[in-house]
Amino acid sequence: MDPIPSRPAYKDEDGNVRIPIWLTKNGRHTADTEMVLLPSEAELLNERLSTALGGPRSILQDLSHPHVIAAGPGVTVVSKLPHSA
């Protein structure tokens, strides 16, 4: 699987995140398709990729997330509904 550089990820009408990808087998292109993720799955993927690329998230990053209403070392409280300040 490889992301298609010319096609950005987007949200569909149902709120799912769609990521255009190329499928390959033995180094040869076999198909264009999309990875379809629920918003929660896209968040988890984003967090895992962020950790892999830049190390663990800081408390400041957690606090800047729109759904976080409180955070501390080892604890993050996340609202089920978007929290407005």
- Position 85 confidence tier, pLDDT thresholds 50, 70, 90: very low
Distance CA 13, CA 36 (A): 12
Average pLDDT over residues 68-76: 52
Give the pLDDT of residue 50: 80
- Model pLDDT, residue 83: 47
Cα Rg, the chain, nearest whole Å: 16
Instruction: Tell me if the pTM is above 0.85.
Output: no
* Span 11-39, average pLDDT: 93
Name 18's bridge partners: 10, 36
Query: Band of the pLDDT at 34, cuts 50, 70, 90?
Result: very high
Own/partner pairs, 5-13, CB within 8 angstroms, 24+ separation: 12/36
